[in-house]
Amino acid sequence: MLTSIQSPSKISLEEFLLLPETKPASEYLGGKIYQKAMPQGKHSTLQFEFPSTINQVGKPQKLAYAFPELRCTFGGRSIVPDIAVFEWSRIPLNANGEIENRFKIVPDWTIEILSPAQNPTRVINNILFCLNHGAKLGWLIDPEEKLVLVFKPQQQPEAKEGEDILPV
């Protein structure tokens, strides 16, 4: 769930990025700051397991890397997907060949895990924003319903459950 943090007036993205990080993370959308909900048990488990599984395959083959709770700033927003996956060749590196601390690009694949009291509208909005800025895939995982909504550019969302194969 995202909760709007009261501020006297809209602030700029640049001003937002100068603020100290919060826990849970805050996101910047349209001049407003929204704080994400504190993850609970199922959410935290999935947020740990998915990146680990993705990285077991993606890292050795240098295909992709999954980052939990990574701030991504692009298109006038600064969001923190539960899991952001980047193709290996797109991972920002510094002059020493090390991973940059700040990612100013859209993830290739964004994964959001719905918390029990969370309204999915803003989460879906972030997934669609990523797709509109070049992401190739978005998942909205609903642990309570045991359902994954799959989002792809220019396509209608698909609901996957049970033994359905999930696109990666």
Dihedral in degrees, nearest 10, Cα atoms 66, 72, 74, 79:
120
Q: What is the pLDDT of residue 72?
A: 99
What's the token pair of residue 90?
């797109």
Query: How many whole angstroms separate alpha carbon 132 and alpha carbon 58?
Result: 24
State how beta strands 32-36 and 83-87 pair. unpaired
pLDDT at 134: 99
Supply the pLDDT for residue 1: 45
Q: What is the pLDDT of residue 111?
A: 99
pTM comes to: 0.92
pLDDT at 3: 54
Instruction: Kindly report the CATH number that applies to the domain delimited by 36-161.
Output: 3.90.1570.10
- C-alpha dihedral (14, 19, 22, 27), degrees to nearest 10: -20
Residue type, 4: S
pLDDT by 10-residue block (mean), the chain, 168 residues: 57 96 94 91 93 98 98 98 98 97 98 89 96 99 96 98 94
Q: 55 is written with which tokens?
A: 């990285």
Q: Read out DSSP for 63-97?
A: SEEEEET--EEETTEEE--SEEEEEGGGS-B-TTS
Return the domain boundaries, the chain: 36-161
Do you find a cis peptide bond into 24, omega within 30 degrees of 0? Answer: yes
